Structure 1
Amino acid sequence: MQKCIFFILAFQISTVCCAQVPKAINSIKDLTDSIAILVRKNNIPGLMLGITTKDSVLYSGGFGYADIKIKRPVTNRTRFRLGSITKSFMAIAIQKLVEQGKLNLNDPLKEIAPEIPFTNKWENSNPVRIVNLLENTSGFDDFKLNKMYSIDQKSYSTKKMMLLQQSSMSCRWRPSERYTYCNVNYVILAYIIYKLTGMEYDQYLTDNILTPLNMNSSGFNAWSRTPDQNVKEYSSSSGHLKEVPSVTLLPAAAGSLWSSSDDMIKFLQLFLKNGFPILKPASISRMETPTSSLAANAGLKSGYALGNEDFGRLRGHDGILGTCRSSYRYDRQSGYGFVISSNANGLAGIESLINGYLMKNKPTAGVKAQPLNIKEITPYFGYYQLEDPRFDLLAFVDRFMLVKIEVENDTVNFNIVGKKHKLLQTTPLIFIQPGSETAEIAFATNGDGKRVLIINKHYAEQVSAISAISWRIVMLLAGIFAMLSVLMGFGALFYFTFKKLSLKQLKIRVLPMISVMFLSWGIYFFMEVKKSNYLLYQLQVPGLISISIFLGFTLFGIFSILNLFIVFKEWTAIRTRLSRWIIVSISFSLVFICYVLLINGWIGLMTWTL
């Protein structure tokens, strides 16, 4: 659901954060003063910051409070919950095993660990390999809604943690075809580490990464085991900061790192020193180079590699866990890196502010455009629909995003929601946006012979104009009629109050409104969880949120069918032709929406049983 929004915004990045801080930034002090302003302005309770070169620390410390209640400040030793940044540590651990000859990135998973209960109908031609897990190209669904967080402070062995995610381990398309972010991949990698070394993943990472780097205040914990050293987590959904529980992460190997700015600076210097003292330079380079996806094979050098992602000229990883938001970035060429984390209200664009200061006056690597090969690109003109859902449950929402590739004045453009973006060809079927430093758009053909578009890491398949537009028009009309049912329902209640409608006429006009209200009820509670993802723990058991989602969507389905039945049963009670047309259109629209939700698993959704 959020993918569609981020997909648009990825091509409309502005300098909003800089506009908020007009002061020129010419020194680290200027930078930290500007960050302090943003922290206060965005009501961020506590922020950790570390900035370094490969040899010296430019800044290590924090802003605000780790614990608001007792006014405990954020310092260079305060431990933040860094979430998916853990994946970079997991990838380093795997690379270490590769260097030791215990593993090969191209090893099929089934040969390394045949006991892992995954399914892949393309296994003979396209097996799941270790590299697919690292680069998130396995095709597995991400965690189920009830298998992300728990409120119980319970530890699981590496093997049991892996088996807990079994319901997601089914390839939805050919491995090595599409990138889609998946925490389950890294839980499987943790089990691989355990099988090859005999050590639980957290102990292996501690002994082989944290200890050699002297990251002595860091650790891997599924929940906050040392609250006096860790940040408290806060939510501001009500407009005021409120402490929330430190939830237990069930796929812990994908995001259990707690660390401080002092320690994370040592981790950044590992990359800036080309892997010293843990990995060889070639292993670091491999971590930065995606190879397994269709995008990589088409020639794109950008994308998600081994627990390591590109952000323009920078590399790094982000982390979101509980209410903490984190990121680290580095550029080996310029020799700079930084890490940042907050315990509520995001990062407020502070990463862009830091990057702008660090990379100021640094030469950019230009990409030379080549003349457009119109004959080669012509078959790829047309409409493309996203087909890389992170969660199967939300796949139908992702598919609403439609991209049109067209040519105008001998220039290729991609059109999203009516806004055109110019593309420049760099190599055959590889394109870049003007002003970008790396190409992120490629055209290719998949294993089924379908033309595909890879754009900003997302995978989209070519569809006919009729299918691309027609069902979206149907969904749009269904949505309009659903909203119209609410107006009709309130209008009917008004007329019934003044005895201008019979009970039969009221029933026909109010039932659709009741159906939509049930749907709104279910959507509201689901969006509350999406907005404050720490609430996912409430989907693990029957409770207010999980039962509200179940009842909202299920009762919408029941009342939509009931309404259609009653409309035909009480047909004669609808007096005018216009009223009949509107009521029938509303009724069939609700049934159509019900059908879409049913085939996508929302009608009868009991999150605690997934």
Structure 2
Amino acid sequence: MVYRLINAVWIICSLFISVNTHAQNTTTLNQLDEEINALVKQHNVASVSYAIIKNGQPTHINTLGFANLETHSAVNDSTSYRIASISKMIVGIAVMQLVESKQLQLSDNIKTLLPDLKFENSWSSSHPLKLVHLVENTTGWDDISLREFAYDNSAQLPLIEVLAINPASRTSRWPPGTRHAYTNSTAAVAALIVERVTGMTFERYAQQYIFAPLNITNASYEIAPPLLATGYTQQLTPQPYKPVLMSHAGSLIMNISDMAKLLSALVSRDPLLLSESSYKRMEYSTSTNVGNFNAGYGIFNHARFYDGWRFRGHDGAMRGWRSELSYSPNNSTGFVVLQNTENNAAFRAIVDKIRTFATSHFSTKTDEQSFQAPPKSLQGYYRYQNPRNQMRWFLERLVSPYQLTIYDDSAVFSSVLPIGWNRKLHYQEDGTWYNDKGEPVAMHTVDPLLGEVLHYGDRVLVKTTMFAAWIDKVVLVLWLLMLVAMIPISLFWLVKLVTKKYSSPIQKNARLITMYVALSGWLVLIFLFIGMQAPIPRLGAMNVISVGLMLATILMALCTAAAIYFYIKHLGNQTSRIATVTSGVLVLCQSAVVCYLAWFGVIGIQTWV
């Protein structure tokens, strides 16, 4: 899951890097097609297919590139793509259909619906786990492990067997119904509930009640169906088809024509699927601390703001594939983008181009909202407290702080890292923050464990200090600088060691142990970097990289501890002040890093478990 964090940071950064590409507005579909074709060539993308509905006009579909680079097979509107997590929207629609038919209620207790499902909830008496928590991802569960992501589900295991593989991940980390935390297992559990209630496999149910009514003819959960494109890495290395474990969370395969039909149904509120009220219910959250929230994750349906305009939908990512379905029902507009290349920069550039075109006719609300001066007491630093995956929190925590700066009549909410992300906000006295388009995006409320919190979209943030927001980053940068500086220093010391320039054993050992400390730090960084390039195959199984990372973290802790012991024992016995300062700063920084990693359980980490 580490790569998802890196991708998220890159997406945020790319939004600002690509600002200049919006200087000239695209006015026609032909011009848009030409500009996207240029982006496909510029970024060396195998293919992209997209569909656009603008202001209720007929759907525009276009396909560019190759479904398979080896055979030079051109992509067309019948070419199928893996849509990854957009698959969850089908589960959400199925659940809402059963709610409409009164076979389910969102308030149903999971223990009643699935008495044989294993999960842990320490707050079951006050906060029992309900169906609404599954479909809005407010269970508090960890996301599935790298091992589960790496699992080859060629056997297409039944859902109950899939969910038996790692029940430990289904442990609520906070009271259900308080904070959002995205996880793939909730969609699998919800799909199992659909199967139990209807007596049908989920695939058969989806075909009969969702795909058939919309005349979607090529949607498939099968393994590598005909007309499926080949997925590619950013370097255009073809990726073999691997069936995912949580199939209903991410294994659906569709072509752009069928995706356009689904998009049209969501934009137009097609009664063949759901009633108007059910469509609306999918598009806001109810089961967090703030209650009804338009900026929250709805029923497998997320909020995304483009230039301040609120879109609903979902996106998807897996190795070799990127996808997004976003729509604005209030403006009768939406789009789908499917890409068979794992290139985030290209994907965001294409989506930005399409969404800029799609929103060009939007107009700001005419009824001016009245805002108040924000209380100065709200100003300060905040850190979110609802990580998706606890194992990766040691990395995600580095980009978790935000800053709220209060002005006379507005505020700016900005990230500490990456630098440059910011949003202007307006305040109402009920504790709600709005963006410039009048959309509610954040609310102050109370969490049963954290106390006063700020919900910004899916994030749940608690106030912190400037010192706490910056200290981990300062130490990290200083440690990295010391590791880099140790490269020439170590070479210099090695020459002197080989030529026996150090007469004292203490001088010799002090330099050796400092080099061991630096080497152990570099080993952790190298194994982590290599693993992060392809985390699912490299860290999701027991292999040289994953075991190497585990051993490197242990070695780093041992070398650092040995260095501390050595310097305490021989304090004042070294003759070189420069060597003493260099060693002291490195060991001090690495000690802080080791303590940080140990606190979050990274020393001796077994990523494949």
TM over 0.5: yes
AA of the residue aligned to 2:172? C
Match of 1:563 in 2: 563
- Indicate whether 1:550 and 2:550 are aligned: yes
Question: Given the alignment, which residue of 307, 320, 324 partners 2:321?
Answer: 324
Match of 1:279 in 2: 274
Match of 2:339 in 1: 342
Q: Are residues 487 and 564 of structure 1, via their aligned partners in 2, closer, same or farther at CA, if it must alter by over 3 Å?
A: farther
Q: Work out whether residues 150 and 537 of structure 1, in 8 Å CA contact, stay in contact via their aligned partners in 2.
A: no
Stretch moving more, 134-143 or 346-355? 346-355
Q: Are residues 15 and 36 of structure 1, via their aligned partners in 2, closer, same or farther at CA, if it must alter by over 3 Å?
A: same
- C-alpha separation in 1, matches of 2:79 and 2:32: 21
Question: Given the alignment, which residue of 248, 258, 262 partners 2:257?
Answer: 262
Match of 2:599 in 1: 599
Question: Could you report, residue by residue, the CA deviation over 1:3-39 in whole angstroms, capped at 9, with x for unpaired residues?
Answer: 59857975994482772895x6332222111111110
AA of the residue aligned to 1:311? R
Q: Work out whether residues 289 and 447 of structure 2, in 8 Å CA contact, stay in contact via their aligned partners in 1.
A: yes
- C-alpha separation in 2, matches of 1:573 and 1:135: 62
Give secondary structure in 1 for the equivalent of 2:263.
helix
Question: Could you report, residue by residue, the CA deviation over 1:395-417 in whole angstroms, capped at 9, with x for unpaired residues?
Answer: 23333332233434454343533
Q: Are residues 445 and 378 of structure 1, via their aligned partners in 2, closer, same or farther at CA, if it must alter by over 3 Å?
A: farther
Match of 1:290 in 2: 285
Match of 2:294 in 1: 301
Give secondary structure in 2 for the equivalent of 1:147.
helix
AA of the residue aligned to 1:333? N
Match of 2:30 in 1: 29
Q: Are residues 280 and 159 of structure 1, via their aligned partners in 2, closer, same or farther at CA, if it must alter by over 3 Å?
A: same
Q: Are residues 28 and 371 of structure 1, via their aligned partners in 2, closer, same or farther at CA, if it must alter by over 3 Å?
A: closer
Q: Are residues 454 and 545 of structure 1, via their aligned partners in 2, closer, same or farther at CA, if it must alter by over 3 Å?
A: same
- Indicate whether 1:508 and 2:507 are aligned: no
Match of 2:143 in 1: 142
Q: Work out whether residues 218 and 254 of structure 2, in 8 Å CA contact, stay in contact via their aligned partners in 1.
A: yes
Give secondary structure in 1 for the equivalent of 2:331.
coil
Question: Could you report, residue by residue, the CA deviation over 1:197-238 in whole angstroms, capped at 9, with x for unpaired residues?
Answer: 2333223222221222221111124xx422x411111113xx
Q: Work out whether residues 50 and 61 of structure 2, in 8 Å CA contact, stay in contact via their aligned partners in 1.
A: yes
Q: Work out whether residues 275 and 284 of structure 1, in 8 Å CA contact, stay in contact via their aligned partners in 2.
A: no
CA-CA distance at 1:169 after TM superposition? 0.5
CA-CA distance at 1:598 after TM superposition? 2.0
Stretch moving more, 538-547 or 478-487? 478-487
Stretches of structure 2 lacking an aligned partner (at least 5 in a row): none
Question: Given the alignment, which residue of 396, 399, 409 partners 1:398?
Answer: 396
CA-CA distance at 1:475 after TM superposition? 5.3
Match of 2:362 in 1: 362
AA of the residue aligned to 1:391? N
Match of 2:50 in 1: 49
Q: Are residues 543 and 55 of structure 1, via their aligned partners in 2, closer, same or farther at CA, if it must alter by over 3 Å?
A: same
Stretch moving more, 572-581 or 299-308? 572-581
Match of 1:425 in 2: 427
AA of the residue aligned to 1:356? T
CA-CA distance at 1:518 after TM superposition? 3.6
Match of 2:238 in 1: 243
- C-alpha separation in 1, matches of 2:367 and 2:603: 49
- C-alpha separation in 2, matches of 1:46 and 1:324: 10
AA of the residue aligned to 2:32? L
Match of 1:414 in 2: 413
AA of the residue aligned to 1:341? L
Q: Are residues 258 and 189 of structure 1, via their aligned partners in 2, closer, same or farther at CA, if it must alter by over 3 Å?
A: same
Q: Are residues 411 and 565 of structure 1, via their aligned partners in 2, closer, same or farther at CA, if it must alter by over 3 Å?
A: same
CA-CA distance at 1:171 after TM superposition? 0.8
AA of the residue aligned to 1:246? Y
Q: Work out whether residues 300 and 430 of structure 1, in 8 Å CA contact, stay in contact via their aligned partners in 2.
A: no
Q: Work out whether residues 283 and 294 of structure 2, in 8 Å CA contact, stay in contact via their aligned partners in 1.
A: no
- C-alpha separation in 1, matches of 2:14 and 2:152: 38
CA-CA distance at 1:311 after TM superposition? 2.0
Q: Are residues 458 and 316 of structure 1, via their aligned partners in 2, closer, same or farther at CA, if it must alter by over 3 Å?
A: same
AA of the residue aligned to 1:109? I
TM-score relative to the length of structure 1:
0.89
AA of the residue aligned to 2:300? G
Give secondary structure in 2 for the equivalent of 1:285.
helix
Q: Are residues 54 and 8 of structure 1, via their aligned partners in 2, closer, same or farther at CA, if it must alter by over 3 Å?
A: closer
TM-score relative to the length of structure 2:
0.89
Q: Work out whether residues 453 and 459 of structure 1, in 8 Å CA contact, stay in contact via their aligned partners in 2.
A: yes
Question: Could you report, residue by residue, the CA deviation over 1:371-398 in whole angstroms, capped at 9, with x for unpaired residues?
Answer: 4355xx3443332222111110122333
Match of 2:215 in 1: 214
Q: Are residues 3 and 105 of structure 1, via their aligned partners in 2, closer, same or farther at CA, if it must alter by over 3 Å?
A: same
- C-alpha separation in 1, matches of 2:340 and 2:565: 51
CA-CA distance at 1:561 after TM superposition? 2.2
Give secondary structure in 2 for the equivalent of 1:85.
helix
AA of the residue aligned to 1:330? Y
Match of 1:231 in 2: 229
Q: Work out whether residues 274 and 284 of structure 1, in 8 Å CA contact, stay in contact via their aligned partners in 2.
A: yes
Q: Work out whether residues 139 and 170 of structure 1, in 8 Å CA contact, stay in contact via their aligned partners in 2.
A: yes
- C-alpha separation in 1, matches of 2:279 and 2:302: 13
Question: Could you report, residue by residue, the CA deviation over 1:173-212 in whole angstroms, capped at 9, with x for unpaired residues?
Answer: 1212212211121121122122222333223222221222
Match of 1:536 in 2: 536
Question: Could you report, residue by residue, the CA deviation over 1:267-299 in whole angstroms, capped at 9, with x for unpaired residues?
Answer: 11211231421211111110112111124x2x6
CA-CA distance at 1:253 after TM superposition? 1.6
Match of 1:583 in 2: 583
Q: Are residues 322 and 567 of structure 1, via their aligned partners in 2, closer, same or farther at CA, if it must alter by over 3 Å?
A: same
Q: Work out whether residues 406 and 414 of structure 1, in 8 Å CA contact, stay in contact via their aligned partners in 2.
A: yes
Match of 2:85 in 1: 84
Match of 1:166 in 2: 167
Q: Work out whether residues 367 and 438 of structure 1, in 8 Å CA contact, stay in contact via their aligned partners in 2.
A: no
Q: Work out whether residues 388 and 459 of structure 1, in 8 Å CA contact, stay in contact via their aligned partners in 2.
A: yes
- C-alpha separation in 1, matches of 2:542 and 2:515: 27
Q: Work out whether residues 142 and 182 of structure 1, in 8 Å CA contact, stay in contact via their aligned partners in 2.
A: yes
Q: Are residues 230 and 470 of structure 1, via their aligned partners in 2, closer, same or farther at CA, if it must alter by over 3 Å?
A: closer
Question: Given the alignment, which residue of 303, 319, 322 partners 1:310?
Answer: 303
- C-alpha separation in 2, matches of 1:122 and 1:497: 63
Stretch moving more, 6-15 or 541-550? 6-15
Q: Work out whether residues 597 and 603 of structure 1, in 8 Å CA contact, stay in contact via their aligned partners in 2.
A: yes
- C-alpha separation in 1, matches of 2:260 and 2:36: 18
- C-alpha separation in 2, matches of 1:408 and 1:274: 41
Stretch moving more, 599-608 or 358-367? 358-367
- C-alpha separation in 1, matches of 2:57 and 2:183: 35
- C-alpha separation in 2, matches of 1:37 and 1:341: 17
**Percent of aligned positions with the same letter in both sequences?**
22
